[in-house]
Structure 1
């Protein structure tokens, strides 16, 4: 059963949409919200598998809420709105579906059929999204949070720093706020750069669509990484939402290698796993970038890269949505330069030209 939050400022429309969704096998509306701020609290409380969002709402426009949702808590979202002229734009903002509200005398049955068709066509995505998601609709009581054993990267990938520099390569780690921040960086990048590997903490089922968004925004060719891809200049490789991204050297080529193992630093994919793999294979020829995010994932391996002579930078507090991961790396003495988000692309370009080491 897929759980749904319906967000609409109209009481009658909330009731209509709720009844329609509840009539569909495999779907259940667990709560409704009257505006974006109400929805924010309901998402925290019920952790639904899907949200439906109206565009015209008081306090915060539905599109603004959608953008904030994709930036801070990416999850499947369907727009149900009378503003059909904005239907195409919302897909660029991260929505997975758009259902126009009935107009010009359209029957409720026709509207219900469209709601049903859209949701049933999304079950493949919802199945992937909920595969790794804890069961249940209510949030975990606060006294049980953060008790998960924190796996050290040693349990997944041993540290074996490369003594000789490998090919030039760029590795990026990010979490909360990273989706929009990465888009801002990639928009400024040219095509002729060393390979870029990205670990962004993102739910399973969203990494492929996010890779497409990065690709559309940038001259860099970006894809969701699969096992055994040869690392090429001008290409970016995003870690899948449920796998660790690493690299290995086979002959004279460097290839991607995905690991379906334990969470590391409470994440899968983990920045620590990516950075350690880069240090094991690339060493001092690498550039590592720590961007906005909560927690400390990546700190251990970034310090190893720094100690091995790699060039490491962190996003500054001013430009971070959450100054957690960069702060921890800075405190660990793992960072050479601390820079604003809008400078990161320039530093990558300089590194590629040999101007920063």
Structure 2
């Protein structure tokens, strides 16, 4: 079987050496080049035609974000961002994901050598996933170095009309992983301010979900925030599972509340979609609507079937519009899906479903 060919782009000689070593130790991949800056990388990519690029954000002569924007316009190639900046500069990481990076790894601020060795499995897993990702050419002009400070934010879509009188019992549950930051944004930006509450588990490490929620809050008509343990779950609000914590829903008298708790990883993830969806099946039952978006693996697939068995109505993203058709494929295989749709159709169909069932709810006190 042909090996996955990887080009490493990083201004640190140590990091280039370590990443090359980590990649070359894998039987199914090889590092075909390592570049210290984007200009060297450009020639190297042209000559070696890699399957995946690992890219640092902060480099001399041209920063990684500018380079990524040019790359995705002219020669779309799967990219995994590997950078110290991504840990404290979550906004930069989110900008990279907007521009088409498949995923990211946050290398530690200190103890880089040991830290990268500990991250070897995560790095190589993400390179494997990236090598199979579906990419789309970036059509829009990319803003300059100030990108990510407002002027490059996507315009809101045309305002959807209000859904109408809805039961506050309804809750929408979203699960996503690789490619999911942009897919979730696509769904949420189409929701009107009077939509039901939305609870979201997106696989993301601690330190990133707060910035992600703030970014979405500035783009959407509903309010978006990181979930806080014990808070009421209200219509017109979206709640994102904090990185490194599980999110679930519970009943407290007449209200739904968010539960945010530490615990063991489930399906290797924390937060885990399985945890959120299981709570939806148990607590919300037929008043739940489930959405499974792009992502690697099978996290949440079984629990989404449990949601369906408990009476929920479920939407699953189709293969053509997924960055990685893993979690959606597994959800379909488990018989969890009522509708399998292109990403752009999920929010309109969700709104249509909500309007058709407006006023109908099943009390589960």
Q: Same fold (TM over 0.5)?
A: yes
Q: Which residue in 2 is equivalent to 1:219?
A: 221
Which aligned pairs between 1:11-160 and structure 2 lie closer than 5 A? Answer: 14=11, 18=12, 33=35, 34-35=40-41, 43=54, 51-53=57-59, 56=62, 61-63=67-69, 73=80, 78=85, 93-94=95-96, 136=117, 139-140=120-121
Shift of 1:214: 1.3
Residue of 195, 198, 202 corresponding to 1:193: 195
Q: Which residue in 2 is equivalent to 1:318?
A: 320
Residue of 181, 184, 187 corresponding to 2:186: 184
Secondary structure of the 1:353 match is: helix
CA distance in 1, matches of 2:258, 2:295: 24
Q: Which residue in 2 is equivalent to 1:256?
A: 258
CA distance in 2, matches of 1:134, 1:166: 46
Question: TM-score, normalized by length of structure 2?
Answer: 0.62
Question: TM-score, normalized by length of structure 1?
Answer: 0.64
Shift of 1:344: 1.0
Structure 1 gap segments, 5+ residues each: 9-13, 45-49, 80-88, 96-124, 146-164
Which of 194-203 and 180-189 deviates more?
180-189
Shift of 1:271: 0.6
Q: 1:280 to 1:303 in 2, by over 3 A?
A: same
CA distance in 1, matches of 2:276, 2:109: 23
Residue-by-residue CA offset, 1:269-321 (whole Å, 9 max, x unaligned)? 11110000111110011000011111111111101111111101100111111
CA distance in 2, matches of 1:127, 1:353: 48
Count residues in correspondence. Answer: 273
Q: Which residue in 2 is equivalent to 1:290?
A: 292
Q: Which residue in 2 is equivalent to 1:158?
A: none
Maintained 8 Å contact 1:66/1:94: no
Cα RMSD (Å): 4.3
Q: 1:305 to 1:166 in 2, by over 3 A?
A: farther
Shift of 1:324: 0.8
Secondary structure of the 2:58 match is: strand
Q: Rg bigger for which structure?
A: 1
Maintained 8 Å contact 1:174/1:201: yes
Q: 1:128 to 1:270 in 2, by over 3 A?
A: farther
Shift of 1:325: 0.7
CA distance in 1, matches of 2:118, 2:53: 11
Secondary structure of the 1:304 match is: helix
Which of 184-193 and 331-340 deviates more?
184-193
CA distance in 2, matches of 1:228, 1:53: 43
CA distance in 2, matches of 1:226, 1:142: 30
CA distance in 2, matches of 1:192, 1:141: 39
Secondary structure of the 1:211 match is: helix
